[in-house]
Structure 1
Amino acid sequence: MADYTPVYTNGNKPMTKTASAAITGGQIVAASGVSTVAPAGAASTAVVGVAAHDAANGARVTVWPLTNVEHEVTVVAAGTVTAGDGVVTGASGTAATAAVATAAAAGTLIGTATTTATAPNKVRFIGRG
């Protein structure tokens, strides 16, 4: 079981949702229905936060919110994220890089990278709501 805790929570508390697919702790998750979440797809506009633990389809899962929380998640396969880059979702609940203005205009910007990493390593980012 993969447990996940953000680097810095800024006093934010996690929420509980129902998994609508298998989730691994540390994956970025997106709203998939009424009070349900699933691993976020590439460039998702429905990101809710980061899963705190593994959860099977139909199970309850704890989710850390994005806003003002520093997360550390896996970079999308064959990708690189550099400190200061905009962060969007990659495939299967991972992180990818994007131009801040472009991603913000598209509604896919989830944060700003605070470290640099290449796949399959983890990058830190400060989440935006």
Structure 2
Amino acid sequence: MADYLPKFKPGQAVTLTAGATAVVGGRLVEVSTASAVIPATADSAKVVGVAGFDAATGESVTVYTRPSGVHRLVASAAIAVGAKVIAAADGKVATIGAGTNPVGIALTAATDDLDVIDVLFI
């Protein structure tokens, strides 16, 4: 077999396109179509990372990919330190509860919607 090098390494920034919905910087994004992302939806299994900045539909956006790194993410409700978190609506994060697709572990706590917390990707 010939030598192989990955196109991108885990945790690197990659450039994708904002898909059918604009994305917000600092929020989770999921793959929607080939090389395109949209804001992550609740308990999405398609989360690829965090948008580096706001991007309108069709614009290029930097995405900091999973599965490594600590990211400052927006909570959708209260989250305890150490809780596993999943994607929530609009690219926010929520406590896993009955969800099945964890994206990280809360390193700091949130007390309310729109609080920004540190999350270690898993």
TM range (shorter): 0.7 to 0.9
Unaligned runs of 5+ in 1: 1-10
Alignment match, 2:17: 18
3-state secondary structure, aligned to 1:123: strand
Alignment match, 1:91: 89
Q: Structure 2: which amino acid aligns with 1:111? A: G
Distance in 2 between residues matched to 1:68 and 1:36, nearest whole Å: 21
What is the correspondence of 1:73-92 to structure 2 with a 5 Å cutoff? 73-76=73-76, 79-92=77-90
Runs of 4+ in 1 over 3 A off after TM superposition: none
Distance in 2 between residues matched to 1:117 and 1:97, nearest whole Å: 10
Cα offset, 1:120, TM superposition: 1.9
Cα offset, 1:66, TM superposition: 2.2
What is the correspondence of 1:118-129 to structure 2 with a 5 Å cutoff? 118=111, 119-128=113-122
Alignment match, 2:39: 39
Cα offset, 1:12, TM superposition: 3.6
* Structure with the bigger percentage of helix: 1
Q: Structure 2: which amino acid aligns with 1:90? A: A
Q: Structure 2: which amino acid aligns with 1:115? A: T
RMSD: 1.4
Q: Work out which of the two has the higher radius of gyration on C-alpha atoms and give 1 or 2.
A: 2
Percent of paired sites with the same residue: 34
Cα offset, 1:42, TM superposition: 0.7
**TM-score, structure 1 length as denominator?**
0.81
Distance in 1 between residues matched to 2:44 and 2:11, nearest whole Å: 22
3-state secondary structure, aligned to 2:90: helix
Cα offset, 1:68, TM superposition: 1.9
Alignment match, 1:30: 30
8 Å CA contact retained: 2:11, 2:66: no
Distance in 2 between residues matched to 1:89 and 1:80, nearest whole Å: 14
Unaligned runs of 5+ in 2: 1-9
3-state secondary structure, aligned to 1:81: coil
**TM-score, structure 2 length as denominator?**
0.85
Alignment match, 2:59: 59
Distance in 2 between residues matched to 1:94 and 1:12, nearest whole Å: 19
